[in-house]
Amino acid sequence: MNNNVPILYIKPGCPWCREATTFFSQHGVELDIRDVSSNKQNMQRMIEISGQSLTPTFEFNEFVVADFSVQEFIDELEQVPEMKKQLGLGAVEDWN
């Protein structure tokens, strides 16, 4: 799937989801936030792309990070520098 805006699959009350949404907001990353608890289709899509049902799960084009903390997301992103550019994220030292 080719998405113009990254998708973040979340569950209400999930502390890692709150941490993730805060991180993306602080860094100006626009997201399409999808609640998998209240929408069966969102849950099905998340399982389809990630093979699991835990949140948060991030999807942007072919880049998928499932069930992550912000640090785990950063670690994954460091492996794909072109994705970091597409998301408009600078150097890791600028992320704090």
- The confidence score (pLDDT) of residue 92 equals 53
- The confidence score (pLDDT) of residue 41 equals 98
In a 13 Å sphere around the CA of 42, the CA atoms on its Cβ side amount to 19
Q: How many domains does the chain have?
A: 1
Assess whether pLDDT exceeds 90 at residue 94: no
Which two tokens mark 1?
Answer: 């799937």
Judge if pTM exceeds 0.85: yes
| CA–CA distance, 79 with 43 (Å, rounded to integer) | 27
70 inside domain = no
CB of 34 closer than 8 Å to CB of 50? no
Residue with tokens 């113009």: 4
What range does the domain containing 53 cover?
8-65
Average pLDDT on 6-13 reads: 97
- The confidence score (pLDDT) of residue 2 equals 54
| CA–CA distance, 15 with 90 (Å, rounded to integer) | 25
The per-residue pLDDT for range 42-88, each reduced to its tens digit, is 999 999 999 999 999 999 999 999 999 999 999 999 999 899 989 98
- Count how many residues are written for the chain: 96
50 inside domain = yes
- The confidence score (pLDDT) of residue 53 equals 96
Residue 49, domain CATH: 3.40.30.10
| CA–CA distance, 50 with 58 (Å, rounded to integer) | 9
What single letter denotes the amino acid at residue 64?
A: V
- The confidence score (pLDDT) of residue 95 equals 47
